[in-house]
Amino acid sequence: MRNFLRVLWPLLFLAALAGNSHGAAGKISVPNAFSYQIPTGWTAITLPGTLYPTAVEGPETSGPGHLKAMISINTDDSPLSLTEWVSKSVARNQTLFAALHAHAGELERFTTATGVPGFRSTVELTARGRPLHYALYFFAGHANMKIAVTCACAATDADHYAPLFEAAMETFSP
């Protein structure tokens, strides 16, 4: 259930968000955890109930509650290998998202521009009548930290945002 809520959290905020921008631009960096370059023109905000800043496009141009896309990060402390952790997380989420008629893409290996290995997958689902697209990235962090990155947008905008999500994840560093 914990992993389900971690993946569902961004979905709920894409549908209706009321967050406050803290003005960070360009890069999100959390000491001893991770860093990555956010897409040009995006903003880092703090969402209620989250541990890490979320990169968003939308509040400044569309008004509060009208995000176009977002990149959020959740972590888990697990002694499992990254491969085992990802496999279990993906299987659990597929079961939990069955009610939303989710379609998950293949789990693929992914490597950042600096050679950090990870995994990537996509999920398409409908929530509150809105078709959504997710690009999910998974990395091993320091010690036993496992990192799940959720990139989300409207399914109709996936072709536009997929290269932006990919470029941001190519700069990811645990």
Concatenated DSSP letters for 88-127?
A: HHHHHHHHHGGGGT-EE---EEEE-TT--EEEEEEEEEEE
The parent domain of residue 60 ranges over: 2-170
CA distance 68 to 117: 28
Per-residue pLDDT, averaged over 1-24, amounts to: 40
Q: Could you tell me which residue, 109 or 8, shows the higher pLDDT?
A: 109
What is the tally of structural domains in the chain?
1
- The pLDDT of residue 56 is above 80: yes
Q: For position 106, which CATH number holds?
A: 3.40.1000.10
Per-residue pLDDT, averaged over 147-174, amounts to: 97
Measured at the CA of 93, the angle between CA 89 and CA 96, to 5 degrees, comes to 145
pLDDT band at residue 60 under the 50/70/90 scheme: low
pLDDT of residue 69: 95
Per-residue pLDDT, averaged over 39-45, amounts to: 93
What pTM was computed for the model?
0.82
DSSP 163: H
Q: Which helix (H) or strand (E) holds 45?
A: strand 43-46
**Residues, the chain, total?**
174
